[in-house]
Structure 1
């Protein structure tokens, strides 16, 4: 069965170092490193040292392909992905999570599908392309902001990621998406959403995405990838409140990602 990990983005505005500390303290199996504005997250040696200090493995590296990280590790997108693979190799992770290109990155997007396959072949790292969503200008209208598209099940990627908060915005059925992806589903960002136009990243169970049923579906299909909690704790008023959300999320994952007794 898969491991239950914590994304370092889940503790923002606290640091990458705090993410490792929370994960170790609360009993998570692994950590996903979000390469972002926190300078430490960009340093391979520092990330490896954190993993060794807290005796917790790194299951994935999230490439800096978000809007806020467009200038992290330079502005050339393929160079970012190559550096992400190098970090993954150095810290013992086998997955790099990557978002599809933005619509304005036309040259990058033009050969994205083939380029990802070529990177996987040359690096030996799985690049798990994440589901995104249309940007909703109004309640019933959306703008396509990703190329070749926001739904990875529409493309022949070998490895993919399902994020429940992104699926909430797109109003996607995550179990149906998982069924379309089959064994190409390599990684999960466990969170939740209410279906609003905001990328909420709620604690799983607090939204309307059926996170419990989704985990039960994964367990029934013997999913063996990583299930990583990627929640938003920015509004937590204290460290204790953040810790409580992280603990609740882990407990939820362990409770529902279990093979049902016949």
Structure 2
């Protein structure tokens, strides 16, 4: 693979149950696997300064964080916590029902744009993360997802969950390639691609062409491994996915893997 090879991060929702009991222990195990960074979804009542200190001690970066859009009454509190942790990009999604009508999409876009303005005032930015409701309906011959992106402030970047694109019946690599420079983060996972209750499997053992999705867009800054649920031990699954990406030259990490 020529050109820039993105580093690989772990989305900590994959380890939500363990993290809710021992977040700092989870960070140690993620660092041992070799991930370059993490994408948290909660600090599980830890002060941001404590988590920041643990990340620095372990040599883990913070590629982004999943946190509700800072557009309402809680906006200042959300941004205060992110600033203390050192978050640069806040990532979240709209609700599935918001994609049922054009008015819903437009109203959702307004909320995200308010969040983007609030984040920018604090030196941060917003990324939009999809599920598959974004690809259920078309308005004027365009997917709801495309309508949304057109309405969003250009400063809002994209985190493409390639798995939910596959669940929607589309080709993740093709969607990724079409997003141009706006695509900065990919969520990579593999499985049957049938619905929200899917159990994830090691890369290469499911129905998603993870390699094609990972190669599709040279603008991507981070590949992020996520497994919503699995019948396997989650640490073993994450290690397998890490080895797949780094061994194939699709991502870089902190632990070398021989080329496969």
User: What's the TM-score, normalizing by structure 1?
Assistant: 0.73
Give the distance between the partners of 1:205 and 1:83, measured in 2 at CA.
41
The aligned residue for residue 92 of structure 1 is 86
Give the distance between the partners of 1:201 and 1:78, measured in 2 at CA.
34
* CA-to-aligned-CA distance 1:158-197 (integer Å, 9 cap, x gap): 3011012221221222222222211111211111242312
Structure 1 segments unaligned to the other structure (5+ residues): 66-75, 137-141
* CA-to-aligned-CA distance 1:188-213 (integer Å, 9 cap, x gap): 11112423122536243232221111
The aligned residue for residue 63 of structure 1 is 67
Q: Secondary structure at the residue paired with 2:190?
A: coil
The aligned residue for residue 250 of structure 2 is 257
The 8 Å contact of residues 61 and 87 in structure 1, kept in 2 or not, is answered as: no
Out of 9, 24, 29, the position equivalent to 2:31 is 24
The aligned residue for residue 191 of structure 1 is 189
Structure 2 segments unaligned to the other structure (5+ residues): 253-260
Q: How many residues align?
A: 231
Distance 1:92 1:171, change over 3 A: same
The aligned residue for residue 227 of structure 2 is 231
Give the distance between the partners of 1:35 and 1:25, measured in 2 at CA.
21
Q: Which moved more, 1:4-13 or 1:46-55?
A: 46-55
Out of 236, 256, 260, the position equivalent to 1:244 is 236
Give the distance between the partners of 1:182 and 1:135, measured in 2 at CA.
18
The aligned residue for residue 157 of structure 2 is 159
The 8 Å contact of residues 11 and 18 in structure 1, kept in 2 or not, is answered as: no
What is the root-mean-square deviation of aligned Cα atoms in Å? 3.3
Bigger RCO (CA 8 Å, 6+ sep): 2
Give the distance between the partners of 2:14 and 2:120, measured in 1 at CA.
31
Distance 1:195 1:14, change over 3 A: same
Q: Which moved more, 1:94-103 or 1:78-87?
A: 78-87
User: What's the TM-score, normalizing by structure 2?
Assistant: 0.74
The 8 Å contact of residues 36 and 61 in structure 2, kept in 1 or not, is answered as: yes
The 8 Å contact of residues 153 and 181 in structure 1, kept in 2 or not, is answered as: no
* CA-to-aligned-CA distance 1:222-247 (integer Å, 9 cap, x gap): x35121111135533xxxx3322111
* CA-to-aligned-CA distance 1:77-118 (integer Å, 9 cap, x gap): 634555444333322332111112453796972622431442
Shift of 1:53: 3.4
Give the distance between the partners of 1:164 and 1:26, measured in 2 at CA.
23
Shift of 1:57: 1.9
Q: Secondary structure at the residue paired with 1:28?
A: coil
Q: Secondary structure at the residue paired with 1:100?
A: coil
Distance 1:149 1:135, change over 3 A: closer
